Structure 1
Amino acid sequence: MHRTLLRALPFVLATALAGPALATDVAMGDGAVHFTVPDGWTLIMQSSGDDESQVFQVPGSSNADATLARVSVTMKKANNLIAFQQFSGDMRNRATSLKEYAAGKPKAPTENVYTAKEGTVKLDYYERYFFTNGYAVQLRCVRPTGDAKFAAAFDKGCAAVAASMPN
């Protein structure tokens, strides 16, 4: 009996110390930028270098939503505010070249809101820009339009990521 308890002890301790997992901590820029994403979001792409990115697929209410709904974080070294403004300006200009781009109404100057098409699917885009720890950071949330229940859950997750970004 004592041997069984001793063998199980490491597993029990590890499980107890882990606690409930509600969000996943993500580090980028050699640990300079940390943020969290909701559990259940799957990392589907990651790049490193001068421009570093991570893209997460967000589970949806339908197969179409699940394959199209995604959140990306892209960052680039920015030594000053001018470099940050150049980065955000370049990213905003890229958005205008998307098929059927239509600007929305952002709530803040660090946001970009618009719709565009990917193939035949109309998508809602929300971008937010951060200047932190020597990096320009873009948070980009993309989801299909039209499913209010899914949109509410998706937007809540996107807002949680934005709230976890260092300012």
Structure 2
Amino acid sequence: MPATSKTVRRQHQPMKNIIILLAFHFSIICFGQTNKLPVPSKSFLEQIHIKDNADLIYLSKYLGKKSEKTLERFDESKQVCSAEYKFGTGIILTQNFCSESGNNVKIVFPFYPKSEIVKYVEWLFKTNENDWNNDKTRYQPKEDGNPGCYLQIKTFKEKTVLEYYCGC
């Protein structure tokens, strides 16, 4: 018995539904992706709270360091003073402590909302000496110009960037 056009359409309907479903899931994964940072344990936060490289320790432990690239060394000792680190979920941390006055850090969080970066700042940098501005894009000493850490969150379409300087 020859296939009618209705029979052919019915035979291809399940395949068409599968293709539409796969395309829908692909668009959600690719275009609606937002990441969440792993919540550190209280004991972990207590151990790293006073360390200069708390962010590097946190990201390595909870997201896994994928690569490390030396950007600059001190002239005399040849020790690394600036480096770039890549972590799971595409996070990139660039650190420069070549200056005697302090260190500069930039962390790019792809597909992370600002709210996750605010939590990150509060986990690793919270002090009684610092305050947030009204829209939680700056976290710095209450008295502007005082020594400490000055953090700024910048949001873009596909990434959120945390930049900070700690020093005197």
**TM-score where L is the length of structure 2:** 0.41
TM-score by length of 1: 0.42
More relative contact order, 1 or 2 (CA 8 Å, 6+ apart): 1
More strand by share: 1
